[in-house]
Chain A
Amino acid sequence: MYTYSEFDEAFVRTRVAQFRRQVERRLDGSLTEDEFKPLRLMNGLYLQLHAYMLRVAIPYGTLNARKMRQLAMIAERWDKGYGHFTTRQNIQFNWPKLKDVPDILDALADVGMHAIQTSGNTIRNVTADHFAGAAADEVTDPRPVAELIRQWSTDHPEFQFLPRKFKLAVTGAAQDRAVTAAHDIGLRLVEQDGVTGARVLVGGGLGRTPMLAKVIREFVPLPDLLPYLEAIVAVYNLLGRRDNKYKARIKITVHETGIDEIRRLVEEEFAARKPLFSGIDQTHLAAITAQFAPPAFDKGGPEDYQTWRHADPVFRAFTDTNVTAHRHPDYAILTVSLKAHGTTPGDATARQMRALADLAEHYGHDELRISHEQNVILPHVPKRHLKAVHAALAAEGLATANVGLISDIIACPGMDYCALATARSIPIAQEIATRFEALKIEHEIGELKIKISGCINACGHHHVGHIGILGLERNGVENYQITLGGDGTETAVIGDRAGPGFGADEIIPAVERLVQAYLDLRADPGERFLDTYRRVGIAPFKAALYTAEEAANAA
């Protein structure tokens, strides 16, 4: 876990002090909203439908108990007792009062956190594989590189007014859990001849023009990484369109310019910038890496883990879905679902946050992660403690055994909160989860990722959902479009649009018809929805969606 240096501390405190004065000047009338808005956005403060919203960065999704408890304190003291974890590993507070925000930012600084660059046309919070440092399939922990990028990009003078926002994600594992292909820059850390470096992807993004990132360089050795990233962002800063907001992201720049020409320009820029890097970034990276040293794994052995699994079907179901293989044989990565059936995806109460902090401290080497799938992870839990952890989670309503299943839905805040939304997302997620819980078939269905966005900007990643749902407005009512076959992993695919959308009261039955079609079509219970879709194509699913509907209408 990285601890703020004196420099980080001084920078964040200075920024809070500046913002405190800016809020005072806004409240006493010296600043107009036009003048104040860019200042508040620089510090993560939005105005939404019903209230202000503060978006706090959780760099590479990593927290410890102290930070989590501070988030709980903020939720209770200045908000309504809960927080919302987002698809970009941020936490959003939905009800802060403008006058309280400087105090909230100071409270964040107390634990080495901030809300800087969680908005605006800058490099945003750097995200990473939520199993970093723990996954069995990992080549190298992506977090030191992510932290280096956080420091490099924070207040980077050249990149404060980019054509549009800019998002980076880093993974160090074979399995891509960080959706790197849907980021402006995606980094996949790899080893080549004993040297660690990055496969660099550029120009990915969802939103109104979804595109998968393209490989710009197969291998950039770590010592070259910052100058190479700087070269990419510098090229984009000059070429990126500022005449049209919808064409301003780097995905459009890459698309219009062509990846080969972008590559040439970046190499040229890289050659010019590389000599300006003295190597101090590498000294610094080494110091950061030391702070992410793996915990001292205990030697307790798994004890009765398998016996418990055998004896207790509830515990078995929980560990079947929520446990992932750890690099240490006697450890588990435990995903705590924030998707209890019928609740709001990604929301945690202050009490739940404290319970998670306690568990991390007592059983999990003081580490917590937030996933882009809006769950919380205890990355290092000895298997012999899993029974106790499960019991503690159950007492707090946090033991839902549904990770990766149909009710583990990603949903953006949608029109329940967001000023940009065109329809609600949360109630659709709640209804799908409740419906399939009632049917008692989600374990039989197996892995199925539903992702819901309440507008075309796609914060809910609907394009890469196995079933994606996009909420729009049609003729004055909410309408939901379905995409099928999307995939956000290392085999990333943008989903196909199924056809005309469905009304709010038609969308749950439509999803049910899709699932029924899948159960009828799958070769065997081991064939996932996505695999079946890839094998049989869209036609039978379209038939299930629309033919049945037409028949019902005709009846």
Chain B
Amino acid sequence: MPRPFTPKVLTANDLILGDVVYMTADGGWTRRHAEAELIEDAATADLKLLDAEARGHEVVGAYLADAVAGLRGPEPVHFREAFRTRGPSNYRHGKQETV
């Protein structure tokens, strides 16, 4: 039996800035994890990834990352993805500067 699908967000890095971005439900890019679309099934996930990979003039290195529904929107599961929502821990640089 196939394993049940774990919900995902689609994430990548912005082409010019390198900043972490997430795909929203309307196909745009947001810098905030909570505004990402939480993808609930494998077929949609595959399609979204194909879409993102075709948009190489906007983003680099698109992939699907595990996420869970939270009160304010999707939340990261893995600590690596949690770090990507903020920035480094040694300086207040990256997203935590402004978001």
Q: Which residues of A contact B (CB under 8 A)?
A: 26-27, 29, 32-33, 47-52, 80, 94-95, 97-99, 344, 347, 415-417, 424, 426-427, 430, 473, 476-478
Find out whether the CB atom of A50 lies under 8 angstroms from the CB atom of B20: yes
Find out whether the CB atom of B78 lies under 8 angstroms from the CB atom of A476: yes
- Decide if B90 is an interface residue (CB 8 Å cutoff): yes
A32, A47, A50, A427: residue with the most chain B Cβ atoms closer than 10 Å: A50
Determine the distance from Cα of A33 to Cα of B19 in the docked complex, in whole angstroms.
Answer: 16
Find out whether the CB atom of A50 lies under 8 angstroms from the CB atom of B19: yes
A345 to chain B, nearest CB (A): 10
Given A97-B18, A416-B83, A476-B79, A47 contacting B61 (CB threshold 8 A): yes
CB<8 Å pairs between A and B, sample of 15:
A33-B60, A33-B61, A47-B61, A48-B18, A50-B84, A50-B87, A50-B93, A80-B93, A94-B93, A97-B17, A98-B16, A344-B90, A415-B80, A424-B83, A424-B89
CB-defined contacts of A477 to chain B, threshold 8 Å = 79
CB-defined contacts of B15 to chain A, threshold 8 Å = 26-27, 98
- Count contacts between A and B, CB distance < 8 Å: 70
Say what secondary structure dominates the interface of chain B.
loop
Q: Which residues of B contact A (CB under 8 A)?
A: 13, 15-20, 56-57, 60-61, 77-80, 83-84, 87-91, 93-95
CB-defined contacts of A427 to chain B, threshold 8 Å = 89-90
Find out whether the CB atom of B16 lies under 8 angstroms from the CB atom of A27: yes
B79, B80, B88: residue with the most chain A Cβ atoms closer than 10 Å: B88
Find out whether the CB atom of B88 lies under 8 angstroms from the CB atom of A50: yes
CB-defined contacts of A415 to chain B, threshold 8 Å = 79-80, 83
Given A32-B56, A49-B83, A50-B84, A98 contacting B18 (CB threshold 8 A): yes
Determine the distance from Cα of A141 to Cα of B16 in the docked complex, in whole angstroms.
Answer: 43
CB-defined contacts of A430 to chain B, threshold 8 Å = 90
Determine the distance from Cα of A427 to Cα of B90 in the docked complex, in whole angstroms.
Answer: 7
CB-defined contacts of B77 to chain A, threshold 8 Å = 476
B53 to chain A, nearest CB (A): 9
Find out whether the CB atom of B60 lies under 8 angstroms from the CB atom of A50: no
Determine the distance from Cα of A48 to Cα of B60 in the docked complex, in whole angstroms.
Answer: 11
Find out whether the CB atom of A33 lies under 8 angstroms from the CB atom of B84: no
Find out whether the CB atom of A33 lies under 8 angstroms from the CB atom of B56: yes
Determine the distance from Cα of A347 to Cα of B91 in the docked complex, in whole angstroms.
Answer: 11
